[in-house]
Amino acid sequence: MTHATPHPHETDFGTPARTAGELVTLEIDGRRVTVPDGTSVMRAAMEAGITVPKLCATDSLEPFGSCRLCLVEIEGRRGTPASCTTPVAPGMKVATQTPRLAKLRRGVMELYISDHPLDCLTCAANGDCELQDMAGAVGLRNVRYGFDGESHTTAAKDESNPYFSFDPAKCIVCSRCVRACQETQGTFALTIDGRGFASAVSPGAGESFMGSECVSCGACVQACPTATLTEKSVIEHGQPEHSVLTTCAYCGVGCSFKAEMKGTTVVRMTPHKDGGANEGHSCVKGRFAWGYATHKDRVMKPMIRERITDPWREVSWEAAVAHAAARLKAVQAKHGRGSIGGITSSRCTNEEIYVVQKMIRAAFGNNNVDTCARVCHSPTGYGLSQTFGTSAGTQDFKSVAEADVVLVIGANPTDGHPVFASRLKKRLRAGAELIVIDPRRIDLVRSPHVQARHHLQLQPGTNVAVLNAMAHVIVTEGLVNRAFVEERCDVAAFDRWAAFVAEARNAPDAVAERTGVPAIEIRAAARLYATGGNAAIYYGLGVTEHSQGSTTVMAMANLAMATGNIGRDGVGVNPLRGQNNVQGSCDMGSFPHEFSGYRHVSDDGVRALFEEVWGAALDGEPGLRIPNMFDAAIDGSFKGMFVQGEDIAQSDPNTRHVSAALESLEILIVQDLFLNETAAFAHVFFPGTSFLEKDGTFTNAERRINRVRPAMPSQVGWDEWRVACALATAMGYPMSYDHPARIMDEIARLTPTFRGVSFDKLDRLGSVQWPCTDADHTGTPIMHADRFVRGQGRFMITEYIPTDERTTRMYPLILTTGRILSQYNVGAQTRRTANVAWHPEDILEINPHDAEQRGLKDGDLVSLASRMGATTLRAQLSDRMPPGVVYTTFHHPVTGANVVTTENSDWATNCPEYKVTAVQITRSNQPSDWQVERDRQEGERKRVSTAAVSAAE
């Protein structure tokens, strides 16, 4: 099977597959067909290779039966039923092509065409229009009604959305868009307004798309059979010619896409129906926000400079690599082998990450490698491995369809993991109960047709206290699943834990005041979780980015084990990973203490294995974590760093401290698409490749290894894995591969959970969830099914130890941070797309009561000040925030939200405590000192590079 194909239309079976029912055999046009009960006649015909004309049906949506084009005749039944809404029955005899049906269908098409602009030849959808196809399919040759009567062909276009256009003149009111918005996306932004001839699609209450609650997921555009809803990129470039199957490079959902291409230009990204994570759906980022890949800001040539105040000089790849290697070696000669290190990137492929950590361990000769997962999900690795024995989520996303109770804690899926949120909302609309534990009233708490049963609106930093109190209720009210605990878990550890959580200090009443959650709510949520059927936990950075991040992960695992909610569909403990390849960067051995597959560097047997395959002596001592690297840089013992695709100057906490550390380095090498904030401190810049150029794999939050395939050639000449190989070689450790598939082969050879993974298998199966342990293994959607990876599940004592960060009279509010749907992380990619239309600046959300006390109005500029620093941004009054808590995002360097965050971190993993900073908010009409200084430095950098360009000219 090839994955770069001419542009094929995927088969649309008209209605969704049914899998559960008994098999039914019927006859269609004389052919015997056997399908599961509940299948539509239309789908049964399509599966037998018989095409039935259709317009309002598509296999991603439940049938609606409005267009009347799919009529069939059924022996023994009167009339001509719609095949899309008629289920199969045993012995049924169906005819899809008769003179009577042909006449009826032509009549239907005549009506559609008589109210349709006849501009097919110049229409953007020419060649990709189902109306056009159907006119051909039914043999329509003329239209008896003429085109002079009343019509919709002059209706005005809505061009408000930056990515798609809405031309109601071409609408056939099939309602596919409305149903896609409801069923697939779950936003309910569209309706059919009016009746009969006056009926028309309307976003919101007659608003424009941008003015409505539309979140720009594009599901309606994909569902539209005509050119009514069309991507502006298709209007600009024309219909695609071929497509390449690949994976989104934004969040940890890991959606599969067809990059639909014209030459090397992306025409559109279409979510892949067979994508295991997304099954044909996407969000605004994956579907539309790919323009950054060809943005003019991209750096295309390697660059070097002596001092960070010098202008950059473009050089050849060979010269840049030689310069970097010479500087790194010089630093090691002067300051010792441990004076250099590097950071791998969760945005890069597994193969790119693997070679960088190998370069550090084998060529740098130390274990000073860390990854950006340090600052997001490192507590997940620690907590789940302590309790279950493996550092990963337990389920596939599909599993949520079997959940009866869903507990979402410290996550905001509708913004952070939108495609998973759509799955979740679908399940909630079908009746599952929802518990939200979050300081903010996130959208899931109340949105169309979704209402959380319980919202535990806790004080930031009190997750552990709330979860211990839930455990207290479960243990003291006899809600423990004893059979599961006795069969699957370490009973002695359970007994210790049960005695601990049963202590009076962990009772809901005892923690109510500190957590801000009424005891009655904690009790009710605990009972629902323990007794409501299949209960699943989903969590995000609101769990991990705390000084008790690892404790909270273990507290959730304890709850799941105590109630037997682990090891089957619909249950489990599931991290919603931030970046596209956070799971992969952890799996690939990016932590200073672990080789790939989470094996400790001090294990002699494991080290010997790597030494043999790599042909290098390896250090058995764990190296420096990112915060240790910064501290050592300031102390003067750490002098050289390679940073792969991360903007640590913007993303890591306490910006002043990070800047001081980076300034102290003698050699900083940055590899990125853009000259980011970190590059301001760099001496060597290696241009990186975008996901559209990469060849490799990403691993999503479900442990699903997805292929990333190049849709266009590298824009910068060298693939990233090749750069790491060249640098290692120049450092004296020869490293080379002829293709990324060979890197995966080495990963498989050295990593038990990847042993059965290969590019060939991924190309064959589409994706594989690790563990995949041999050539015949097809992966593991649900973990810990019969036994925990560590043998017996281990309950861990989760003492609640409050953070050192305290509010005072000077800093009376708690700041918590997060992200929003349209932007991504530090915004380097999304800020370079039309997504800025939704979020042009970071905003501070503040409760109206706190605002009033400070005399603040909506839209005022405010100073956000902590013990660490201050920044100025705009305030938005929001009753989503509880009094005493404020919230902002960190997508814009001009705000620099991390100027105010502290260096407090998780006790086990050093994951920074981004979610709890004591702050004060005051009205302000000027930028902070930090912003003034940043602007000055930015101006200076521009002046230097302009001077350099003039000198070169």
CB nearer to ligand SF4: pick between 654 and 889:
889
- How far apart (Å, rounded) are the C-alpha atoms in residues 805 and 798? 20
CB nearer to ligand SF4: pick between 206 and 336:
206
Strand 313-314 relative to strand 303-304, pairing: antiparallel
The 3-state DSSP class for residue 408 equals strand
- In angstroms, what is the minimal distance from the CB of 275 to ligand SF4? 9
CB nearer to ligand SF4: pick between 248 and 629:
248
Strand 917-923 relative to strand 861-866, pairing: antiparallel
- What angle (nearest 5°) sits at the alpha carbon of residue 841, between those of residues 837 and 842? 130
**CB atoms < 10 A from the CB of 483, how many?**
9
DSSP 731-754: TT-----SSHHHHHHHHHHH-GGG
Query: Is residue 848 within the footprint of ligand FES (CB under 6 A)?
Result: no
Of the candidates 98, 84, 96, the one whose C-alpha atom is nearest the C-alpha of residue 13 is 84
Query: Is residue 533 within the footprint of ligand FES (CB under 6 A)?
Result: no
Residues 649 and 676: beta-carbon distance below 8 Å: yes
Q: Per residue, what are the HEC states of 456-523?
A: ECCCCCCHHHHHHHHHHHHHHCCCCCHHHHHHHECHHHHHHHHHHHCCHHHCHHHHHHHHCCCHHHHH
CB nearer to ligand SF4: pick between 497 and 698:
698
- In angstroms, what is the minimal distance from the CB of 650 to ligand FES? 50
Query: Is residue 361 within the footprint of ligand SF4 (CB under 6 A)?
Result: no
Q: Report the amino acid identity of residue 13.
A: F
Residue with tokens 């084990």: 561
Residues 712 and 693: beta-carbon distance below 8 Å: yes
Query: Is residue 450 within the footprint of ligand SF4 (CB under 6 A)?
Result: no
The answer to whether the bond into 771 is cis (omega within 30° of 0) is yes
CB nearer to ligand FES: pick between 69 and 304:
69
CB nearer to ligand SF4: pick between 219 and 403:
219
CB nearer to ligand FES: pick between 70 and 369:
70
- How far apart (Å, rounded) are the C-alpha atoms in residues 23 and 34? 6
Query: Is residue 55 within the footprint of ligand FES (CB under 6 A)?
Result: yes
- In angstroms, what is the minimal distance from the CB of 251 to ligand SF4? 3
Residue 180 binding target from ligand SF4, ligand FES, none, CB below 5 to 8 Å by type: ligand SF4
CB nearer to ligand FES: pick between 72 and 471:
72
Q: Which of residues 64-83 bind ligand FES (CB under 6 A)?
A: 65-70, 82
Query: Is residue 253 within the footprint of ligand SF4 (CB under 6 A)?
Result: yes
Residue in 44, 45, 54, 512 binding ligand FES, rule: CB under 6 A = 54
- In angstroms, what is the minimal distance from the CB of 109 to ligand FES? 12
Q: Which of residues 286-345 bind ligand SF4 (CB under 6 A)?
A: 286
Query: Is residue 84 within the footprint of ligand FES (CB under 6 A)?
Result: yes
CB nearer to ligand FES: pick between 57 and 553:
57
CB nearer to ligand FES: pick between 67 and 535:
67
Query: Is residue 259 within the footprint of ligand FES (CB under 6 A)?
Result: no
- How far apart (Å, rounded) are the C-alpha atoms in residues 674 and 828? 8
Q: Locate all alpha helices (DSSP H) within 243-295, ordered by sequence.
A: 284-288
- How far apart (Å, rounded) are the C-alpha atoms in residues 378 and 346? 12
Residue in 85, 165, 202, 228 binding ligand SF4, rule: CB under 6 A = 228
Residue with tokens 């300034």: 663
Binding mask 177-206 for ligand SF4 (x = CB under 6 A): x--xx---x-x-xx----------x-x---
Query: Is residue 44 within the footprint of ligand FES (CB under 6 A)?
Result: no
Q: Which two tokens stand for residue 453?
A: 């049963």
Query: Is residue 784 within the footprint of ligand FES (CB under 6 A)?
Result: no
Residue in 28, 35, 45, 57 binding ligand FES, rule: CB under 6 A = 57
- How far apart (Å, rounded) are the C-alpha atoms in residues 487 and 495? 14
CB nearer to ligand FES: pick between 9 and 809:
9
Q: Which of residues 634-693 bind ligand SF4 (CB under 6 A)?
A: none
Strand 4-6 relative to strand 667-672, pairing: unpaired
- In angstroms, what is the minimal distance from the CB of 52 to ligand FES? 8
Q: Which two tokens stand for residue 94?
A: 């169906």
Residue with tokens 């720009």: 216
Query: Is residue 418 within the footprint of ligand SF4 (CB under 6 A)?
Result: yes
Q: Report the amino acid identity of residue 510.
A: A
Residue 573 bridge partners (DSSP):
537
- Applying CB under 6 A, the span of 52-60, 192-200, 500-508, 763-771 interacting with ligand FES comes to 52-60
Q: Which two tokens stand for residue 563?
A: 């109630």
- In angstroms, what is the minimal distance from the CB of 82 to ligand FES? 4
- How far apart (Å, rounded) are the C-alpha atoms in residues 928 and 900? 11
Residues 436 and 456: beta-carbon distance below 8 Å: yes
- How far apart (Å, rounded) are the C-alpha atoms in residues 654 and 869? 8
Residue with tokens 């550890």: 493
Beta-strand (E) ranges in 120-168? 164-166
Residue in 35, 113, 125, 223 binding ligand SF4, rule: CB under 6 A = 223
Residue 716 binding target from ligand SF4, ligand FES, none, CB below 5 to 8 Å by type: none
- How far apart (Å, rounded) are the C-alpha atoms in residues 680 and 309? 9
CB nearer to ligand SF4: pick between 42 and 748:
42
- In angstroms, what is the minimal distance from the CB of 14 to ligand SF4? 15
The 3-state DSSP class for residue 122 equals helix
Residue 67 binding target from ligand SF4, ligand FES, none, CB below 5 to 8 Å by type: ligand FES
The conformational region for residue 114 under phi > 0 = left, psi -120 to 50 = alpha, else beta, is alpha
Residue 82 binding target from ligand FES, ligand SF4, none, CB below 5 to 8 Å by type: ligand FES
Query: Is residue 229 within the footprint of ligand SF4 (CB under 6 A)?
Result: yes
CB-facing half-sphere around the CA of 577: CA atoms within 13 A: 36
Query: Is residue 216 within the footprint of ligand SF4 (CB under 6 A)?
Result: yes
> How many residues line the site for ligand SF4 (CB under 6 A)?
42
- Applying CB under 6 A, the span of 165-173, 485-493, 625-633, 687-695 interacting with ligand SF4 comes to 165-173
Q: How far is CA 721 from CA 27, 732, 761, 876, 884, in A?
A: 56, 17, 21, 44, 47
- In angstroms, what is the minimal distance from the CB of 41 to ligand FES? 10
CB nearer to ligand SF4: pick between 423 and 722:
423
- In angstroms, what is the minimal distance from the CB of 40 to ligand FES? 9
Return residues touching ligand FES (CB under 6 A): 54-57, 65-70, 82, 84
Return residues touching ligand SF4 (CB under 6 A): 171-177, 180-181, 185, 187, 189-190, 201, 203, 214-220, 223-226, 228-229, 248, 250-251, 253-255, 278, 282-283, 285-286, 417-419
